[in-house]
Structure 1
Amino acid sequence: MKAVRCHGFGHRHRLETGIAVPKPKPGEVLVRVDASGICAADRAMWDGTGPWSLPFPFTPGHEFTGTVVELGEGAGERHDLSVGDRAVAELNITYGNDFFRQRGLYHLADRMDVIGATLDGGWAEYMIYPADAVIHKVPENLSNAAACFTEPLANAIHGVERADIGFEDVVVVSGAGPIGMGMLQAARLKTPRKLILVNPGAAKRRLAERLGADMAFHPDDPELKTALADLTDGRGADVFLEASGQTQAFTLGLELLRKAGRLVVFGVYKKPVAVDLNIFGEFKELDIRGGHLAPFTYRTALDLMSRGLVDGDACVTHRYPLDRFEEALERRPEPDEVQIKIILDPQM
């Protein structure tokens, strides 16, 4: 089979052929990969800016969907799967009596494998879902592209849940990448009083309004602050969801939030930020909440897309075959072009 193998960070990925199709062990599931996404973390591995220490080589790809082609001993009963089912697996595999795992925080476990990092991922024609993976069937009415969007959407839903959005809240979503667009659609389902998207790209702002934003602004547009002041009698936003990974967006959130507002940080940042700490306590008593991965939200993501409440297909904008993975990793949008999620299709 073909697979993209990462031999180190910084343009050390290689397309390799003639790799043996893996054989599933007891409890494991072999799938034919139908689609696998490219994430900001994958690009950080490619350009050498990632903060992680990983064993090499491995096959990247932690956003994926596949069709079951073989079940290891006991896997069908363990995961309620049959050959021919489409399924996604959660990327983090946890083990044993981990402190966080015992408390329902399995996404924060100290002992963890990650598909697409410490275990081979979806940038291949075939892959193994481990015996200890949490696996979910893909609803029949979902496209492979939408199914591949499950992982980023599940992350987005976790971030929205962390925000505790109420009916009267004015909510700002910063960033219109996969997580931001997922947050926007999930936050819309919480029915806040107003939902505002902040992003530099005009085309993405227009798409955001189609997907549920009441308003959309460039971060430097003075009308953003005017609109918030009008909506809140000058107090500021109740909730700010930061999904852009830009440090200036974080500081913008601190400025736009009202006193006792809630800021959820879900981006991956490449540089530190200097902040006057007085804004957290002395000036605003802000509630800052981190967000990481997608505990208990994959099933929700699949259900919301299946019911037509979240448009996963609208967020998958480009598709490439495996042998053009470098082009896909390097792709940047043209002016006024919508680029959200790029996927690799090993069947192309």
Structure 2
Amino acid sequence: MRRMNAIRCHGFGGQHRFETGLNVPEPGPGEVLVRVDASGVCAADRAMWNATGPWDLSFPFTPGHEFTGTVVALGEGAGARHRLSVGDRAIAELNITYGNDFFRQRGLYHLSDSMDVLGATLNGGWAEYMIYPADAVIHKVPDSVSNRAACYTEPLANAIHGVQRAEIGFEDVIVIAGAGPIGMGMIQAARLKTPRKLILINPGKPKRDLALKLGADLAFHPEDPDLRAALNDLTDGRGADVFLEASGQGAAFLQGLDLIRKAGRMVVFGVYKDPVPFDLNILGEFKELDLRGGHLAPFTYATALDLMGRGLIDGDACVTHSYPLEEFETAIVRTPDPDEVQIKVIFEPNGTEAS
């Protein structure tokens, strides 16, 4: 029996452990065993560490829902089922859905009432090996996409879903709040929609500078008075056509309500620690806004991999820090220096990728 190392969560609030000598799982019918090449640290993972998340989960489990791996074994029928061979690099979508409920019938499988989640209800990618379940949606990684960029697929796929929800047009002035993994993905995906202007709002200047390199036309601190002036100049004082909120900060949501024009579209993709009170009259009486939520990444993993594979989105630029599993606490709690860009922090459980 082969052995492996993994990070196991035994409870919320810092109850993670680096464990050695665990059995490498054997793939059952339809299942895929992968050697994990890279696995990301998400804000949800940090919420588990800090005990600030809303989830009710069973312990212990292996976290990590952003991952990429190399196929090392296939259960009975798995090769044909998933069109995979040993040696392929592949990614599984994090949500595993079952049955034929109302939402799956309508193509909304990410909202299914019957769902498992890799890295939460099923073991995830903070390990040297993991299983992709038989019911997983699995995608091959293009040869031109590095392991580190492939690990960025999940947040990028979320970002693309948010951009799709925004229905961006050629003449739109777009504002995106937040320059984390999803915000940076939105910048690059929205640029491919060729809007008239693309503006980022983010407090840290290093991230603003990177966003300008990745496709933003303008970038502002949220308190910069030039932000309002620029929007007024671009729109004759109307305000932004589309506002995408990817920061998870209540103040950013409220600023979006202020900056968006009448009949504008607002997509909320952030995850908020606290309720955000606001005047509902802004939605109807004053602006007749189209307010939309965004959740997960239905049908966008393949798009994310394709866009990175064709060089249209730079996934490597968004993976900024890598750690071995043993240094999991440092990776989870690290805070960037003021002049440092920190976007996606990852683990490379089986060693650093060759450059």
Report TM bin, short chain: over 0.9
- Secondary structure of the corresponding residue to residue 21 of structure 2: coil
Who is 1:186 aligned against? 189
Who is 1:220 aligned against? 223
Normalising by structure 1, report the TM-score.
1.00
State how far apart, in whole Å, the 2-side matches of 1:226 and 1:73 are.
Answer: 62
- Secondary structure of the corresponding residue to residue 154 of structure 2: helix
> Following superposition of structure 1 onto structure 2, how do residues 128-277 of structure 1 map, counting pairs within 5 Å?
128-277=131-280
Aligned residues: 348
Q: Does 2:323 correspond to 1:320?
A: yes
Who is 1:73 aligned against? 76
Q: How big is the shift at 1:347?
A: 1.3
State how far apart, in whole Å, the 2-side matches of 1:82 and 1:131 are.
Answer: 15
Q: Which amino acid aligns with 1:82?
A: S
Who is 1:294 aligned against? 297
- Secondary structure of the corresponding residue to residue 292 of structure 1: coil
Q: Does 2:311 correspond to 1:308?
A: yes
- Secondary structure of the corresponding residue to residue 335 of structure 2: coil
Who is 1:25 aligned against? 28
Q: How big is the shift at 1:336?
A: 1.7
State how far apart, in whole Å, the 2-side matches of 1:120 and 1:102 are.
Answer: 27
Q: Which amino acid aligns with 1:155?
A: N
| Runs of 5+ unmatched residues, structure 2 | none
Who is 2:43 aligned against? 40
Q: Does 2:106 correspond to 1:103?
A: yes
Q: Which amino acid aligns with 1:184?
A: I
State how far apart, in whole Å, the 2-side matches of 1:294 and 1:3 are.
Answer: 26
State how far apart, in whole Å, the 2-side matches of 1:341 and 1:299 are.
Answer: 20
State how far apart, in whole Å, the 2-side matches of 1:104 and 1:210 are.
Answer: 35
Deviations 1:122-144 (Å, cap 9, x if unpaired)? 00000000000000000011110
State how far apart, in whole Å, the 2-side matches of 1:144 and 1:78 are.
Answer: 24
Q: Deviation above 2 Å: which 4+ runs of structure 1?
A: none
Who is 1:113 aligned against? 116
Normalising by structure 2, report the TM-score.
0.98
State how far apart, in whole Å, the 1-side matches of 2:343 and 2:92 are.
Answer: 22
State how far apart, in whole Å, the 1-side matches of 2:249 and 2:57 are.
Answer: 24
Q: How big is the shift at 1:59?
A: 0.2
1:279 to 264, 277, 282: 282
State how far apart, in whole Å, the 1-side matches of 2:86 and 2:101 are.
Answer: 33
Percentage of pairs with the same residue: 79
Q: How big is the shift at 1:97?
A: 1.3
Who is 2:64 aligned against? 61
